[in-house]
Amino acid sequence: MEEQDTVAFHVENRIAWVKFNRPEKRNAMSPSLNRRMMEVLDELEHRDDVGVLVLSGEGTAWSAGMDLKEYFRETEAQGLRGVRKSQRESYGWFRRLRWFQKPTIAMVNGWCFGGGFGPLFACDLAISADEAKYGLSEINWGILPGGGVTKVVVDLLPMRDAMWLTLTGDLIDGKQASAMRLVNESVPLDQLEARTREVAENLLKKNAVALKFAKDAVRRVGTMTYDEAEDYLVRMQEAANFHDKTEGRKEGIRQFIDEKSYKPGLGAYDQ
Ligand code: ACO
């Protein structure tokens, strides 16, 4: 398979549908896939015709985690230079996705293992198929969940759940993942795409600048004191005001107070 083909994507009605595309390898993340994913994110991030990105997987897997042969064994054979390079490539696109300019949704259609928790966490929202299966299989082949994965589960889950998944390698399905808050919600596989589209279309109605500043704020304030967060949020709103050339907040107030054409409590203003 050509490196180019390890990721598939198309843009339709302002939604970028991006897919891990190594179904025959259960979408395991190889160095080729990691490099290609960075290029795809690069291409999509600032396109005017993209408002939301959805990340899913071709075939029966979302992603079976890092490719044990190509990402671990073959890079280790190249020594530390090879290992660090492949780590930079994978962590690089996970980070790029975490701070992506547009809101992102993980649409988890199947297997999600180990390193797959990196991009799962990087996506702002996550919708799962009930049939999907999640596991920290690292312990099953003798390592700890590295590459940020332990941090992901500790940030997203209560300590007992994080510890259980980490120490047992047990699988959970989409409904359990939703109950644990690893994902926002879980629906039957045959409704997964429609539900994800509905969520994406709702996001598309919102002010795009506000979405970017809001998603960053949610990730940033977690490690701040209250006073730091208060100050940061004041500054970020001022920065958002500068970046929003449509002056959306004024328009939003105008349509409510003067025009009485919508109610902010019930939906977004007309852009
Ligand atoms: N790395 C490398 N190759 C993989 C991976 C992986 N993570 N996952 C699947 N493959 C390959 C298999 O070796 C097999 O290759 P082959 O056809 O050349 O023999 C092919 O994908 C299909 O895999 P099967 O095991 O036959 O598929 P099945 O649907 O029966 O099982 C499952 C799917 C459960 C995902 C299984 O493949 C599996 O356990 N994969 C490993 C999951 C894992 O532990 N990932 C690593 C997490 S730890 C980390 O990411 C740091």
What is the per-residue pLDDT for 131?
98
- Minimal-distance CA residue to ligand 1 atom 21: 25
- Minimal-distance CA residue to ligand 1 atom 40: 64
Do residues 249 and 271 lie in contact, with contact meaning Cβ atoms separated by under 8 Å? no
User: Interface pTM (ipTM) of the complex?
Assistant: 0.99
**pLDDT interval class at 223 (50, 70, 90):** very high
Ligand 1 center to 242 CA (angstroms): 48
Kindly report, residue by residue over 60-82, the tens digit of the pLDDT: 999 999 999 999 999 999 999 99
DSSP conformation class of 16: E
Asked whether the whole model's pTM tops 0.95, one would answer yes
CA geometry: angle 29, 223, 159, nearest 5 deg? 65
Is the alpha carbon torsion for 241, 242, 246, 251 positive or negative? positive
What is the per-residue pLDDT for 157?
98
| Distance (Å, whole) CA 150 – CA 162 | 8
70 lines ligand 1 (CB under 6 A): no
User: Environment class of residue 227 by beta-carbon count within 10 Å: exposed (0-12), middle (13-18) or buried (19+)?
Assistant: exposed
Kindly report, residue by residue over 130-168, the tens digit of the pLDDT: 999 999 999 999 999 999 999 999 999 999 999 999 999
211 lines ligand 1 (CB under 6 A): no
Amino acid 75 reads: T
Phi and psi based region of residue 8 (left: phi greater than 0; alpha: psi -120 to 50; beta: remaining): beta
Query: Quick check: 172 pLDDT over 90?
Result: yes
148 lines ligand 1 (CB under 6 A): no
Ligand 1 center to 66 CA (angstroms): 9
Ligand 1 center to 61 CA (angstroms): 10
What is the average pLDDT value for the chain, to the nearest integer?
A: 97
Task: Quote the tokens at residue 12.
Answer: 């339709």
240 lines ligand 1 (CB under 6 A): no
Over the range 196-215, which residues count as b (16 or more CB within 10 Å of their CB) and which as e? Answer: bbebbeebbebbbbbbbbbb
Please compute the mean of the pLDDT values over residues 46-61 and round it to a whole number.
98
What is the per-residue pLDDT for 1?
85
Residues in the chain: 271
